[in-house]
Amino acid sequence: MLALGKLLELTLAGREPTEKIQLTPAGVRLHWLAEGALEVTPAPGTDNGHDLLLSAAIHGNETAPIELLDRLLQAIASGQLQPRARLLLLLGNPQAMRRGERYVEQDINRLFNGRHAEASGFEALRACELERLAANFFSLPGRERLHYDMHTAIRGSKIEQFALYPYSPGRTHSPVELARLQTAGIAAVLLQSKVGITFSSYTYACLEAEAFTLELGKARPFGQNQGVNLEQLQGLLESLIEGRDSLPDGQALEGLQLFQVAREVIKHSDSFTLHLPSDVENFSELPLGYLLAEDIADTRWVVDEPGARIIFPNPKVKNGLRAGLLVVPVAAE
């Protein structure tokens, strides 16, 4: 197999390949762009006009999607997969990967859409580099652009595999893309209602890609992901890579649960208190009138939305950042 098919091995070892560009026997081009960044170009005459960005390890300890990317790349490098779409494969935070930690100094996934310019350190520089790599990749006109940023969660979830669909003024969420996610085993989608600061928010709002953050189960160490079933997602990605994907019926969304953000819970100070058990699962339903959180100046978050659920509760975030999301179910339209 080509050496560039060992992107994960090289990244974990902190090594660069001797050859930055290699060709498979079929003429597929693999190009090492930077640490943890590899571009795949179809053989001449086979490009179908699709650009697919697959990212993982924005948090370094979320290993199941890293292993999925590795399987896809090894299949390409060995000739088992024959790409017809252009691909950019990104391992977001190599330093955190090597440590087996979520991040080194700060959460990269809170540093996009200009936030890295207000910060310093390795993660801020890496967020800037990831934006540059994505912008260069999606710079060709007239092509279909799709980005899946793949994660696993800190905690368990009532809905194990779900997606976050970013927001941009003037754009509408695509029923076809929602149906495509459903074929990949995604059981629920959170439709966001304001521009975010995550990687998928950047590619959606600034690069005009269809983009999603995918939450695919609970974070585990390398080699311990037997309980994370990514077979349906892998099947979809293989079909997208090889150009075998047929667009699903965007009207057929029965069974896909849709949610929207009702409120963000923002931690303002070190006095912030979140009134939830430390092991509470994502999508846990909260009763009306429940005192969810308190902070300085008598700030209180009381649940007044019927059917409200909590996702991403984390009282340990830095002041000024989101400590949780209250979401409510919505009907498909």
Q: Give every CB contact of residue 237 below 8 A, 6+ residues apart in sequence.
A: 52, 54, 68, 72, 148, 184
Task: Look up 281 and say whether it is catalytic.
Answer: no
- Integer-rounded Cα Rg, in Å, for the chain is 20
Q: Give every CB contact of residue 183 below 8 A, 6+ residues apart in sequence.
A: 232, 236, 248
Secondary structure class of 40 (helix, strand, coil)? strand
CB burial readout 157-180, b (16+ within 10 A) else e? bebbbbbbbbbbeeeeeebebbbb
Q: CA–CA separation, 142 vs 49, rounded Å? A: 8
Provide long-range contacts, Cβ within 8 A and 24+ apart, for 110-116: 110/197, 110/198, 110/321, 111/197, 112/197, 112/198, 112/199, 112/201, 112/202, 113/195, 113/196, 113/197, 113/201, 113/202, 113/205, 113/206, 115/197
Question: Other CB atoms closer than 10 Å to residue 241's CB: what's the count?
Answer: 24
Secondary structure class of 72 (helix, strand, coil)? helix
Tally helices (H) and strands (E) across the chain: 7, 16
Beta strands in the chain (DSSP E): 21-23, 29-34, 37-41, 50-56, 86-91, 144-153, 162-165, 188-191, 210-218, 257-266, 273-274, 284-285, 291-295, 299-302, 309-311, 322-330
Question: Other CB atoms closer than 10 Å to residue 197's CB: what's the count?
Answer: 18
Catalytic residue among 39, 129, 210, 215: 215
Residues with a catalytic annotation lie at 215
